[in-house]
Amino acid sequence: MKNDFKSFLAVEFSNYLQLLLSAGRSTHNHEIMLRSLDSFLLQNHTFEKCLSESIINQWLSTICGTSANKVSYIARYRGLSKYLRSINITAFEPEYPRCSYTYAPYVFSDEEWKRMIASADSLPYSDYNPESAVLFCILLRMLYGCGLRRNEALKMETRDIDLNLGVLFVRHAKNDKQRYVPMDISLTELIRAYLSIVPQREYLFVNSTSGRRYSAEWARKRMGHLLQDCGIDFERVRKYERGPCLHCFRHTFVAKAFDQLLQTPLDFADAVPFISTYLGHCDLRETDKYLQANYDFFQRDHTLITDYTRKHNIFPEVIDE
C-alpha cells in the first residue's frame, strides 16, 4: 500500500509509519486507519495542524462496522496521537468505548469430537492426492489439541516442529506474536510418522502434486464434508451465533482448558496469564472474549476472569458509547 497521503498531516503520517517499521511493527492496519483519517481531513477541508476533539469525534462517527472495529481504530489512532504530541502537534486522545462482544461460538461436545476424528481417520485416500486425508487428520488434531488458529497451523514450517521435545513454534501469529505450543505425544508421533515417509518440504501442509501449501479453502471444504458425514447440523437460535467451523476448535480448546484449570489446586490468578500467553493473546481482554459466550459451562470461568481483572486493576474503566 503506497503512503500517498494528501492531507495537511501527510508528512507526519508517513513519518509515523516509518517509525513503526523501524521498530519492527506491522503497519498494514495502521495504514488503513491513517488513510481513513487522511481522507476525512481532505473531505472536510481541514488545514490547521491540529486534531481537535471535535475533528476526531466526527471522524470516528464515520467508522462503520461493529463497536470492536471502532475500538481497533481508536487503539491505532491513540498511538498516532502520542507521536504527534511528541512533535508538538495538538492531537486529541479519545477514550475507549465499552465494546460489547456479540459473537457466539459453537463449542464441540466430546461425543461430536469422537465422531469427527473417527470419520476423518477413515477417509479414503485419493490416488491423485494421497496425503490430503492424512494432513487433514493432523490439522484437526492441531486445532483441537493445541488451540492453534487455522492459519497458524496451515503456515507451520517443518523447521518449527520439534519432534524431540514435542513442541510447535508458531513463528507468524496474529499481531506478529510468536510462541511455543506443546503437543500431545500422539500428535507428535503422527507428524513424525508422516514426515518420515514424504519428501523433505518447507511447510507441513503441502500438496505434493502442486508443490503449494494447502489453503484455508481446502481446509474449509474438508471440514464441511466432515460435518455432513458426521451428521452435525446447526440451527441458529441466537443472533450472531456461529455454526461449527474450524475456528470453533479453538473455542472448544479454551473451554476445556479452563474447565481443567478449575479441577486443579492452582490459583486462577496465577494460571490465567499462562493460558492467555499459550493462546497467543496480546492481553487478557482477548482471553475474556472467549469466555463471554452464553454457554452454561463458560459462566463460572467468565466470573472468575472478570473478578481477576477487576481485582488486579488490569483494565481501566471506560465510558459507554
Q: Where are the beta strands (DSSP E) in 176-318?
A: 179-182
- Give the range among 168-172, 294-298, 302-306 with minimum mean pLDDT: 294-298
The residue to which cell 498511538 is assigned: 79
- Give the range among 94-103, 260-269, 303-312 with minimum mean pLDDT: 303-312
pLDDT at 317: 39
As a whole number of angstroms, the distance between CA 51 and CA 145 comes to 48
C-alpha closest to that of 144 among 126, 123, 160, 120: 120
pLDDT at 105: 73
Share of the chain above pLDDT 90, in %: 50
- Give the range among 167-171, 255-259, 274-278, 281-285 with minimum mean pLDDT: 281-285
Domain 110-230 in this protein, CATH class: mainly alpha
This prediction has a pTM of 0.63
Residue 31 · residue 17 · CB < 8 Å: yes
Summarize the confidence of residues 20-30 as an average pLDDT.
89
Summarize the confidence of residues 104-109 as an average pLDDT.
81
Share of the chain above pLDDT 70, in %: 78
C-alpha closest to that of 56 among 35, 78, 87: 78
Q: What is the pLDDT of residues 172-230, one digit of tens each?
A: 888 778 899 999 999 999 999 999 999 899 999 999 888 899 999 999 999 999 999 99
Side chain identity at 7, as an amino acid letter?
S
pLDDT at 296: 45
Indicate the burial class of 140 (C-beta count within 10 angstroms; 0-12, 13-18, 19 or more): buried
Helix (H, G, I), strand (E, B), or coil: what is residue 138?
A: helix
Here the cell at position 258 is 479452563
pLDDT at 230: 94
Q: What is the pLDDT of residues 27-79, one digit of tens each?
A: 888 999 999 999 999 998 777 889 999 999 999 999 887 676 788 899 899 99
pLDDT at 318: 35
Residue 30 · residue 20 · CB < 8 Å: yes
* Maximum separation of any 2 CA atoms in the chain, in Å: 67
Q: Across-strand partners of 241?
A: 104
Q: How far apart are the first and last CA of the chain?
A: 32
Q: What is the DSSP letter of 181?
A: E
Count of Cβ atoms closer than 10 Å to residue 34 Cβ: 25
Q: How high does pLDDT run on average in the chain?
A: 83
- Give the range among 24-28, 86-90, 267-271 with minimum mean pLDDT: 267-271
Q: What is the DSSP letter of 125?
A: P
Kindly list the domain boundaries of the chain, sorted by start residue. 10-86, 110-230, 248-311
pLDDT band at 315 (very low <50, low <70, confident <90, very high): very low
pLDDT at 217: 94
pLDDT at 13: 96
